Amino acid sequence: MYIRVKRSKTTYFIQCEPTETSLDIKQKLHDLIDQPVSDQRLILVSTGEVLEDSKSLADLKVENDAVVALTLRKG
């Protein structure tokens, strides 16, 4: 499956599995945008819920084609 991670004008299509955790997604984003995992925060747009690092995508109800918003901590 894939999810769409959006921030300002950019959308990242990230390939993932329901068994992966939110942290795994942040790690993949780190490879793309050079922002440390600890500075990233992911929000599931449909519910407005903040995704916790330790939980799996299945537990967080993040499905195929879901839209997730990315926010970054200011350095």
Partner 1 sequence: MRKEETVKLISAEGFEFVIHKDAAMVSQTIRNMLTSPGSFAETEHGEVTFPEISTTILEKICKYFYWNLQYASGKQTEFHIEPELVLELMMAANYLHT
Segment contacting partner 1 (CB under 8 A): 28-36, 39-47, 53-61?
28-36
Which of 18, 23, 24, 28 lies at the binding interface for partner 1 (CB under 8 A)? 28
Q: Which is nearer to partner 1, 32 or 50 (CB)?
A: 32
In this structure, are residues 70 and 14 in contact, taking their beta carbons and an 8 Å threshold?
no
Q: Does 58 bind partner 1 (CB under 8 A)?
A: no
HSE-CB of 21 using CA atoms within 13 angstroms: 8
Does residue 43 belong to the site contacting partner 1 (CB under 8 A)?
no
Return the number of other C-beta atoms located less than 10 Å from residue 71's C-beta. 11
Q: State which of residues 19, 32, 46, 58 lies at the interface with partner 1 (CB under 8 A).
A: 32
Start-to-end C-alpha separation, the chain: 32
Give CA–CA dist 51/53, Å, rounded: 7
- Residues in touch with partner 1 (CB under 8 A): 2, 9-15, 28, 31-32, 65
